[in-house]
C-alpha cells in the first residue's frame, strides 16, 4: 500500500468514526428533546428467588378495580390465564415496571458492558455474549438484539400472554454436547468466524462463573446432539443396493408393524447415524462489515433503517460490537466420525444447502433442491463409508434469502409470462430487484468452526459458494453437480438458466441464445 493510500485509509476511518459519534450525539439530543425517551432505569421483574408463596396479588395494587387474582398462582411459574385474570395494564406493570427504555448511550450512568474481546483464545478473556435486558444484566449487556433470532418473537408473545415467566432460569445440566466440537485455531482469528459465536455450544461450561457468581443471564447460541436420519429416498437407494448397510453409519430399520400389531413383511428401510448442530446467528459487526467490504457505520445504519428502526442501539451504542440479528439459523449434519472434519488425512464430502421448503419438504418439482440434497446425503454416506466424513450444512435462506412469499410471486410471473430459461433470472429481478440475496460471504464461517481445512468433494454448481469457501482459505479438490437423470423435467428451466449464466456444470453446456428453447410446464398441463 502506498503512503497516499494509507493516508486516505486513515482519513476514511476517521470519517466513519466521526459519523458514528455524530449519530450517537444526535440520538442523545433527540431523547433529551423528546419526553418519550426516558433515562435508563433497571427493570424490576420478580425473580425466581422470590418466596414461593409470593403471589400475583401481593404485587398488584389492591386499589386497582380491574384486577382479579387467584392467590394460588406464584411468580416464577407460567401464569395460567384460565385462573388468573389480570388487566393488560396491570400485567404490563408487573412485567415491565420501569419506564420504556428505547435506547442507551456509552457514557450513560451505570452502563458497564461485560468485556468481550472477539477472537481471544481464552474464553474468560473473550467473554460471553450478553443481550439480556433482565434487571440483573441490563447494565452489563454487550450485545444488541435477542437470542434465538426470529424465534425471539414467540418468546415475547409467551411472556405477554403469561405462559412464560420472563425471569425463568434455564437448567442446562445434562445438555452438554454428546460429541466434541473442540476449539480450532480459526476460533481465535477474529476475521475467520464473524457470523456466530464459536463458543456458543460451550456456554454453560466455560461461562459458569459469570452465570452462577455474577448472576448474568447468558444463554447458548449453539447446541450439538446425535440422531438417526430416516428418508424414504435413502430407503429406496438401499433397496436398490446404492446405499449399503454397514451397521455403523447406515443401520437397518426395525421391522414394520401391521395395523393389527403383527410384524410386517414389508421392507423397513434404513436409518443413518448422524451428529448434528444447530447454530443461531451472532454477528461481530466489524468483521461482518469487513467481509462485505463496507464500513461498520454503513452496516449499522442499513440494519437500523431496513428493520424499521427496531434496534436503535445500532446507532447509539457504537461501543457494542455484537448484534444478534432476527434471522434464521443453520444446521450442520455430520456423517461419520466428527473428529475427522479437522483431520486433513481424511476424505471430506460437503454440501452447503440453502433452504427450499417447497422442494425439500413437500417435493415440488419446479427446482432441483430436494434431489440435490438427497444426492448429497448419499455422497456423504459413501464418503464416510470409505473412511472419511460427510458434512451437509443447511441454511435458512428460503427463496435465495428473498423469502417464500417473493418466491411464489415469481412462480406466478413465470407461469403467466412464459416459463422459459431465458426469462428465469429476469422474473426474479422484476419482483425482488435482485436475483439472489444469499450473499455467501458469511457462509464459510461454519466450516472454519468445524475445523475443516480442505474439501475433497463438493456437491454444488454454485460459483458463489465455491468462491466464498476457496477465498476463505479452504481448498476444494473436486466439485461436481447433480447427475442429469436426477433432474426433474420442470426444473430444467432453472438448471439451464444457471448453466448459461456461469454456474458450474460437469456435463451439459447451454448457450444464452438457446435458453428460449427450455420451457417449463404450464399451469394448464397440471390441471386435470
- In which residue are the cell numbers 449399503 written? 244
Q: DSSP for 69-98?
A: --TT-BTTS---TTT-B--HHHHHHHH--S
Neighbouring CB atoms inside 10 A of 206's CB total 16
Question: Beta 322-324 vs 143-145: how paired, if at all?
Answer: parallel
CB of 383 within 8 A of CB of 348?
A: yes
> First CA to last CA across the chain, in angstroms?
67
Beta bridge partners of 390: 335, 349
Q: How far is Cα 70 from Cα 55, in angstroms, rounded to an integer? A: 8
* Residue 524, CA distances (Å) to 404, 487, 490, 492, 521 in order: 23, 22, 14, 18, 8
Beta bridge partners of 476: 455
CB of 329 within 8 A of CB of 442?
A: no
Beta bridge partners of 133: none
Neighbouring CB atoms inside 10 A of 82's CB total 7
CB of 479 within 8 A of CB of 520?
A: no
Which candidate, 229, 200, 207, 213, places its Cα nearest to that of 335? 229
Active site residue 414: no
Q: How far is Cα 348 from Cα 391, in angstroms, rounded to an integer? A: 8
Catalytic residue among 197, 360, 419, 436: 436
Which candidate, 334, 314, 145, 164, places its Cα nearest to that of 221? 145
Residues in Cβ contact with 282 at an 8 Å cutoff, skipping those fewer than 6 apart: 129, 143, 195, 196, 197, 200, 221, 322, 323, 324
Taking phi over 0 as left and psi of -120 to 50 as alpha, with beta for the rest, 263 belongs to beta
Torsion of CA 336, 339, 344, 348, to 10 degrees: 20
Active site residue 365: no
* Residue 478, CA distances (Å) to 345, 350, 376, 466, 481 in order: 16, 10, 14, 11, 10
Q: Report the half-sphere exposure of 526 (CA within 13 A, side-chain side).
A: 9
Catalytic residue among 317, 351, 400, 438: 438
Residues in Cβ contact with 246 at an 8 Å cutoff, skipping those fewer than 6 apart: 385
CB of 380 within 8 A of CB of 234?
A: no
> Active-site residues: which are they?
436, 438
Amino acid at each position: 500500500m502506498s503512503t497516499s493510500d494509507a493516508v486516505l485509509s486513515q482519513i476514511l476511518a476517521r470519517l466513519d468514526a466521526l459519523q458514528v459519534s455524530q449519530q450517537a450525539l444526535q440520538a442523545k439530543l433527540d431523547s433529551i428533546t423528546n419526553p418519550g425517551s426516558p433515562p435508563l432505569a433497571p427493570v424490576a421483574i420478580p425473580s425466581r428467588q422470590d418466596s414461593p408463596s409470593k403471589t400475583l396479588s401481593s404485587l398488584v395494587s389492591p386499589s386497582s378495580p380491574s384486577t382479579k387474582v387467584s392467590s394460588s398462582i406464584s411468580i416464577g411459574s407460567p401464569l395460567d390465564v384460565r385462573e388468573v385474570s389480570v388487566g393488560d395494564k396491570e400485567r404490563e406493570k408487573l412485567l415491565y415496571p420501569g419506564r420504556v427504555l428505547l435506547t442507551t448511550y456509552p457514557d450513560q450512568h451505570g452502563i458497564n458492558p461485560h468485556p468481550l474481546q472477539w477472537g481471544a483464545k481464552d474464553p474468560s478473556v473473550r467473554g460471553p455474549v450478553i443481550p439480556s435486558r433482565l434487571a440483573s444484566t441490563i447494565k452489563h449487556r454487550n450485545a444488541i438484539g435477542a437470542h434465538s433470532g426470529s424465534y425471539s418473537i414467540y418468546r415475547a408473545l409467551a411472556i405477554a400472554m403469561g405462559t412464560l415467566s420472563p425471569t425463568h432460569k434455564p437448567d442446562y445440566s445434562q445438555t452438554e454436547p454428546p460429541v466434541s466440537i473442540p476449539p480450532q485455531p480459526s476460533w481465535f482469528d477474529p476475521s475467520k468466524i464473524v457470523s456466530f459465536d464459536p463458543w456458543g455450544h460451550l456456554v454453560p461450561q466455560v461461562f459458569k462463573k459469570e452465570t452462577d457468581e455474577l448472576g448474568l443471564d447468558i444463554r447458548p447460541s449453539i447446541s450439538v446432539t446425535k440422531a438417526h436420519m430416516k428418508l424414504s429416498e435413502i430407503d429406496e437407494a438401499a433397496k436398490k443396493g446404492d446405499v449399503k448397510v454397514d451397521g455403523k453409519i447406515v443401520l437397518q430399520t426395525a421391522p414394520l408393524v401391521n395395523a393389527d400389531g403383527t410384524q410386517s413383511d414389508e421392507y423397513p428401510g434404513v436409518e443413518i447415524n448422524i451428529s448434528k448442530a444447530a447454530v443461531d446467528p451472532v454477528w461481530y459487526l466489524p468483521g461482518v462489515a469487513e467481509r462485505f467490504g463496507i464500513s461498520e457505520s454503513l452496516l449499522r445504519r442499513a440494519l437500523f433503517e431496513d428493520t424499521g428502526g427496531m434496534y436503535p442501539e445500532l446507532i447509539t451504542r457504537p461501543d457494542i460490537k455484537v448484534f444478534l440479528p432476527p434471522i434464521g439459523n443453520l444446521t450442520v449434519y455430520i456423517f461419520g466420525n466428527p473428529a475427522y472434519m479437522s483431520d486433513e488425512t481424511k476424505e471430506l464430502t460437503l454440501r452447503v444447502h440453502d433452504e427450499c421448503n417447497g422442494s425439500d419438504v413437500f417435493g415440488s418439482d419446479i427446482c432441483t433442491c430436494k434431489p440435490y440434497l438427497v444426492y448429497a446425503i448419499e455422497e456423504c454416506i459413501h464418503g464416510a463409508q470409505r473412511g472419511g466424513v460427510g458434512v451437509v450444512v443447511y441454511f435458512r435462506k428460503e427463496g435465495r434469502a428473498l423469502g417464500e412469499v417473493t418466491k411464489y410471486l415469481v412462480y406466478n410471473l413465470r407461469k403467466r409470462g412464459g416459463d422459459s430459461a431465458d426469462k428465469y433470472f429476469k422474473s426474479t429481478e422484476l419482483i425482488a430487484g435482485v436475483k439472489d440475496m444469499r450473499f455467501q460471504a458469511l457462509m464459510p464461517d461454519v466450516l472454519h468452526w468445524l475445523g475443516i481445512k480442505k474439501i475433497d468433494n463438493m456437491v454444488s454448481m454454485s460459483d458463489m459458494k465455491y468462491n466464498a469457501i476457496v477465498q476463505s482459505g479452504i481448498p476444494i479438490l473436486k466439485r461436481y453437480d447433480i447427475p442429469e437423470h436426477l433432474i426433474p423435467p420442470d426444473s430444467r428451466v432453472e438448471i439451464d438458466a444457471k448453466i448459461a449464466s456461469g454456474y458450474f456444470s460437469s456435463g451439459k453446456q447451454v448457450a444464452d441464445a438457446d435458453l428460449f428453447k427450455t420451457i417449463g410446464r404450464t399451469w394448464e398441463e397440471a390441471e386435470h
